[in-house]
A = this chain, B = another copy of it.
């Protein structure tokens, strides 16, 4: 995958003949970023003062740290070699999503797509143009979690799939009103899709079927709407900034 490659056309060509509107195509962000040119080379990066200092403190490559800072709006934690960042999109993840694994060549870094929801809409539109069907499209990445070990895939971008199934105010099986239930459907789908491949299997897209009830004709608000607003987030504050 190279910048400018037509990912939608490649996905359409690889899709099964019976691809349909109720399907969901989960696409790893890495292949999207490569096609969109959201990649950098370590050799092209000069580490500034803050990157040099952080790299020394955390035992990391200074130019990688500079690339991370360039994608970061707020650095939430820098500890034990880990940088937890709020990206310029508002996602909270390690290294602001900057990653060398499964990159194209040694020294290449893959960034998050500039606007993952736009990427999802464009892929959906491109597939519809090629095949005449409009499956839901997710752009996914593997995110770590506070409190639990390991990563699960989440939806960075979405078009045509319900992100959150908001059941607040609806009834449970006993008729009792649900007060907090908001099912993060798109994240569960992203996580399920990742079970169908391996980190070394070079499979950038997974087709998920049977979720017609969550697929919408409209592209919808996207996965950006799944970000918890910072003002409502009890764990967003940079270290040491909480009330005494």
- A residues sitting closer than 8 Å to B (CB atoms) are 77, 79-80, 82, 84, 91-92, 94, 100-103, 106, 142, 144-154, 163-165, 167, 170-174, 176, 178-185, 187-189, 191-192, 194-195, 199-202, 211, 225-228, 232-236, 239-244
User: Distance (Å) between the CB of A159 and the closest chain B CB?
Assistant: 18
Residues of B within 8 A of A240 (CB): 242-244
The answer to whether A150 and B187 touch across the interface, beta carbons within 8 angstroms, is yes
How far does the alpha carbon of A243 sit from the alpha carbon of B237 in the complex, in Å?
13
Residues of B within 8 A of A176 (CB): 100-103, 106
Given contacts A227-B147, A240-B244, contact A153 B195 (CB under 8 A): no
Q: Say whether chain A's binding surface is mostly helix, strand, loop, or mixed.
A: loop
Report which of B84, B194, B242 forms a contact with A242, defined as CB distance below 8 A: B242
The answer to whether B189 and A195 touch across the interface, beta carbons within 8 angstroms, is yes
The answer to whether B80 and A232 touch across the interface, beta carbons within 8 angstroms, is yes
Which residue of chain B is the closest to A223 with respect to CB atoms? B148
How far does the alpha carbon of A145 sit from the alpha carbon of B93 in the complex, in Å?
13
The answer to whether B167 and A183 touch across the interface, beta carbons within 8 angstroms, is no
The answer to whether B174 and A103 touch across the interface, beta carbons within 8 angstroms, is yes
Report which of B146, B164, B178, B226 forms a contact with A234, defined as CB distance below 8 A: B146
The answer to whether B188 and A191 touch across the interface, beta carbons within 8 angstroms, is yes
Residues of B within 8 A of A150 (CB): 163-165, 182-185, 187, 226
How far does the alpha carbon of A182 sit from the alpha carbon of B77 in the complex, in Å?
20
How far does the alpha carbon of A185 sit from the alpha carbon of B233 in the complex, in Å?
26
Which residue of chain B is the closest to A155 with respect to CB atoms? B148
Residues of B within 8 A of A226 (CB): 148-150
Report which of B146, B171, B192, B199 forms a contact with A183, defined as CB distance below 8 A: B199
How far does the alpha carbon of A151 sit from the alpha carbon of B102 in the complex, in Å?
29
The answer to whether B77 and A235 touch across the interface, beta carbons within 8 angstroms, is yes
The answer to whether B82 and A234 touch across the interface, beta carbons within 8 angstroms, is yes
The answer to whether A194 and B188 touch across the interface, beta carbons within 8 angstroms, is yes
Q: List 30 A-B contacts (CB under 8 A).
A: A77-B234, A77-B235, A82-B234, A92-B146, A102-B172, A102-B174, A142-B181, A142-B183, A145-B184, A146-B147, A146-B234, A146-B236, A147-B233, A148-B187, A149-B164, A149-B182, A149-B225, A149-B227, A152-B152, A152-B184, A173-B200, A181-B199, A188-B194, A192-B192, A234-B239, A235-B235, A239-B242, A239-B243, A240-B244, A241-B242
